[in-house]
Homo-oligomer: A and B are copies of this chain.
Amino acid sequence: MAFLDHIDACNRHDLNRFRPFIVGGRQVGWVRGDIAWHLEEYEAVFAVTPDAVHLQRHLSEPEARSQAVDQVCRALHAKWQTPPLRGERYRVARTWGEEPVMTMDRGVVSLFGVRAFGVHVNGFVRDGERLKLWVAKRAPERAVAPGKLDNLIAGGQPAHLSLRDNLIKEAAEEADVPAALAQTARPVGVISYCVEDQWGLKPDVMFCYDLELPPDFTPRNTDGEVESFALMEVDEVMARIRDTQDFKANVNLVILDFLIRHGVLCPDNEPDYAAIAHGLKRGW
């Protein structure tokens, strides 16, 4: 294992297997060939060509687009066991700052290869000059990455919230962090990657935050998604990232960014330093 292996693992994809997904004349995602084939049947909603999957032009309003796609996805799930809707809406847009062309259920964004946004928070404690990181262990029954190590707080970005409000909501649910404390989290940058999952493509953008916690604060999970928390020496975290796959795949990237920004990973000691720093932005 090496640090760069985690970056490679989060960027495995072959766009030759995908067709652009186009809404209102603009590409906002990618659809895998076999999924495009399933979509041909729903020609009131999709115009499928050998080169692209278009949302039909008569669907010109965000609300109508969102409802039509939901309906197809429910039918696909019933017929082909594609993922079910999960009841949480994501924005569909190329960038976070752009006006979304529609929303889409969280469960099916990879079917359409739509960019998903999220917030990740490294919770840390200072011990003199040394840093410690609060690390969550995901519950064993979670659908994604059961039992893997995770950031203190992380969550996908619902359509209707600001990033800051989402962070405060997730902080309460996942780690029982009071709003006033969560409010002190500092935005520190953004990471991106692009990986294939079972159904399609995940071109993800993660907004990263640092949250310095008082030494007497202990996180406590309130929504059942975390089995336990541990406060780890930053050097131990770095060694486990380098040598193991204990962390959820994309969390390795968020922590590598932390290690670089805090001078734990150093350019005079790590030959891959610049490649790692650049690799954290590969999926753009």
Contact = CB atoms under 8 A, between A and B. Distances in A.
A121 to B, nearest CB: 13
A232 interface: no
A189 B266 contact: no
12 contacts: A95-B275, A96-B274, A97-B272, A163-B268, A186-B263, A187-B260, A187-B267, A189-B261, A189-B277, A190-B274, A205-B274, A261-B261
A278 interface: yes
A85 B263 CA distance: 35
Interface of A: 95-98, 162-164, 186-190, 192, 205, 207, 260-263, 265-268, 270-275, 277-278, 281, 284
A209 to B, nearest CB: 8
Contacts of A275: 95, 97
A187 B263 contact: yes
Copies assembled: 2
Which of A188, A262, A278, A284 has the largest count of B CB atoms less than 10 A from its CB? A278
A2 to B, nearest CB: 12
Given A261-B261, A281-B281, A187 B274 contact: no
Contacts of A190: 267, 273-274, 277-278
A130 to B, nearest CB: 14
A267 B271 CA distance: 31
Nearest to A164: B268
Given A189-B260, A277-B281, 13 more contacts: A96-B273, A97-B271, A97-B274, A97-B275, A164-B268, A187-B265, A187-B267, A187-B268, A188-B261, A190-B277, A207-B267, A207-B274, A261-B261
